[in-house]
Amino acid sequence: MYSKKVIERFENPKFVGEIKNPDAVGEVGNMKCGDVMKIYLKIEKGKIKNIKFKTYGCIAAISASDAMCELAKGKTLKQAEKITHEEIIEKMGGDVPQIKIHCSVLGTRALRKTIENYKNEKNK
């Protein structure tokens, strides 16, 4: 069902965990499937210096979270906000079952929510 690349990312995620004293945290969920993604950001000079995730979900959700983090790290906030679910799928190896595409969409929503939370905190 899943490609070797998706399973490898699931079994050995590079970005799983929390960041102590993060600059932003965001969490989104999909009530339909039960997946929940929590993203932690450390921002330095307008760029994502560090990013971590904690995801409750299936193989595709965890793999999508890790792929999204890899895409976002080092980008400016503006660049990170433009990451698409298609880019996440491509980073996952491009071979994701149609029924699991929503996991990559959840990844983009989680990242955007976290960036939105950061901006809201800075504007207080």
**What phi and psi values does residue 93 have, to the nearest 5 degrees?**
115, -5
User: Is 33 considered catalytic here?
Assistant: yes
In our burial notation (b when 16+ CB lie closer than 10 A, e otherwise), range 52-82 reads bbbbebbbbbbbbbbbbbbbbbebebeebee
Give residue for tokens 């993060």.
22
User: Is 69 considered catalytic here?
Assistant: no
- Which listed residue (92, 103, 106, 111) is catalytic? 103
- Which listed residue (7, 16, 33, 59) is catalytic? 33
- List the catalytic residues: 33, 103
